[in-house]
């Protein structure tokens, strides 16, 4: 845990400790930055941040995953994990819960995480929300006036301005708002959320393919630009306002594919929410299958490894399966009846030797 890591490294007890959970997206992929609908669920795995203020303007950090690093509070970003810390300190200063009287006080910080990095499970958002909560715990009278949506927006701004990924707000919102054990239907445009209990007697298996991916290498931002261009050519503010008839009129076949995925995915999320509330696991599984096909064929973010894993999970008895997260590697999510879960987990490993179970999320 971060408290023990902090005490070992700094020979002191931290003044604040906070956590942020990773997430798996059950359905609604690449819709959040198009003002659409998503349905994520929290993992049990989380990131823990322990910290204390310093008397100078140094950030001194230790992590169980990365190197120990030190730098000045106002140092430029350099691509290291301390960029997240600099971003969180800046957000705290801009939003009234800064560390120190001038907002430029340094901190000692220790970070430990169970959330796999590069897996499409929001390790970055978990870190951002844990950071903001830990800093806020130093000034609770000011921090507690902020809403979870405020916290999510700050996490997103850290990602945009200090890390370099033009992400949507889904990951930060679910980390800031959702309870463990329920799916969160999130309308990104309105910022409205509704939490829905999971299927009783069914489990969602989160399985790492064994292939990592990295968003900041350009593919994610490329998809964002393509979606914006498609919306512009259809004369709408975002693809949330587009329909499949207008999509079919696009002259550019690549933009048509990108738009078709986003438009149809929003429809699938709406149907999935109805299926979840009605207890119709088979319908939900079919929508997951359709989502994966669309991500592979229209959004081009799957891979042979992910496709093989999804197919093998289906052959082993999963009701539905698809890649989760941005794609390009990482994880898949599979829905199964609870009594079939152990058999599926035993069966999929032989044809997918590098894959491993990350989490098993149980309905009540």
pLDDT band at 266 (very low <50, low <70, confident <90, very high): very high
Instruction: Write out pLDDT tens, residues 287-335.
Output: 999 999 999 999 999 999 999 999 999 999 999 999 998 888 899 999 9
Predicted local distance difference test score (pLDDT) of residue 167: 82
Catalytic machinery residues: 171
Q: What pTM was estimated for this model as a whole?
A: 0.89
What number is the average pLDDT over the span 179-201? 95
Could you tell me what percent of the chain has a pLDDT over 90?
Answer: 87
**What length is written for the chain?**
364
* Residue partners of 190: CB distance under 8 A and separation at least 6: none
Predicted local distance difference test score (pLDDT) of residue 212: 81
Predicted local distance difference test score (pLDDT) of residue 345: 96
Predicted local distance difference test score (pLDDT) of residue 102: 66
Predicted local distance difference test score (pLDDT) of residue 216: 42
Could you tell me what percent of the chain has a pLDDT over 70?
Answer: 98
Instruction: Write out pLDDT tens, residues 202-234.
Output: 999 999 999 887 554 578 889 999 999 999 999
Cα torsion 171, 50, 89, 213 to 10°: value is -40
Bigger pLDDT: 108 vs 98: 108
Domains in the chain with CATH codes? 2-25+43-179 (3.30.230.10), 198-362 (3.30.70.890)
Among 276, 281, 250, CA closest to 263: 250
Q: Is 12 exposed, middle or buried (0-12, 13-18, 19+ CB in 10 A)?
A: exposed
């Amino acid at each position: 845990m971060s408290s023990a890591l902090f005490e070992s490294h700094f020979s002191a007890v931290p003044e604040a400790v906070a956590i942020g959970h990773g997430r798996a997206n059950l359905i609604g992929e690449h819709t959040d930055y198009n003002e659409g609908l998503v349905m994520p669920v929290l993992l049990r795995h989380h990131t823990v941040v322990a910290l204390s203020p310093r008397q100078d303007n140094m950030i001194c950090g230790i992590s169980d995953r990365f190197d120990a690093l030190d730098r000045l509070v106002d140092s430029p970003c350099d691509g290291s994990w301390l960029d997240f810390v600099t971003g969180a300190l800046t957000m705290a200063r801009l939003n009234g819960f800064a560390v120190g009287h001038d907002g430029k006080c340094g901190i000692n910080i220790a970070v430990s995480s169970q959330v796999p990095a590069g897996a499409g499970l929001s390790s970055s958002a978990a870190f951002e929300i844990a950071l903001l909560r830990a800093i806020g715990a130093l000034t609770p009278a000011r921090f507690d006036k902020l809403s979870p949506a405020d916290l999510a927006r700050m996490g997103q701004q850290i990602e945009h301005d200090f890390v370099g990924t033009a992400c949507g707000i889904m990951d930060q919102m679910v980390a800031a708002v959702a309870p463990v054990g329920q799916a969160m239907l999130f309308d990104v445009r309105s910022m409205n959320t509704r939490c829905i209990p999971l299927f009783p007697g069914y489990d969602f298996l989160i399985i790492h393919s064994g292939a990592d991916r990295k968003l900041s290498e350009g593919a994610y931002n490329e998809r964002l630009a393509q979606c914006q261009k498609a919306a512009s050519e259809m004369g709408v503010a975002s693809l949330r306002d587009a329909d499949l008839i207008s999509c079919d009129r696009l002259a550019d076949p690549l933009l048509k594919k990108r738009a078709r995925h986003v438009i149809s995915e929003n429809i699938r999320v709406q149907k999935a929410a109805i299926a979840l509330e009605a207890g119709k696991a088979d319908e939900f599984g079919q929508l997951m299958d359709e989502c994966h096909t669309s991500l592979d064929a229209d959004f081009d973010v799957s891979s042979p490894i992910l496709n093989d894993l999804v197919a093998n999970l289906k052959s082993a008895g999963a009701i539905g399966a698809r890649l989760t997260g941005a794609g390009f590697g990482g994880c898949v999510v599979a829905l199964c009846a609870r009594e079939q879960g152990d058999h599926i987990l035993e069966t999929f490993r032989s044809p997918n030797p590098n894959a491993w179970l990350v989490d098993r999320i149980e309905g009540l």
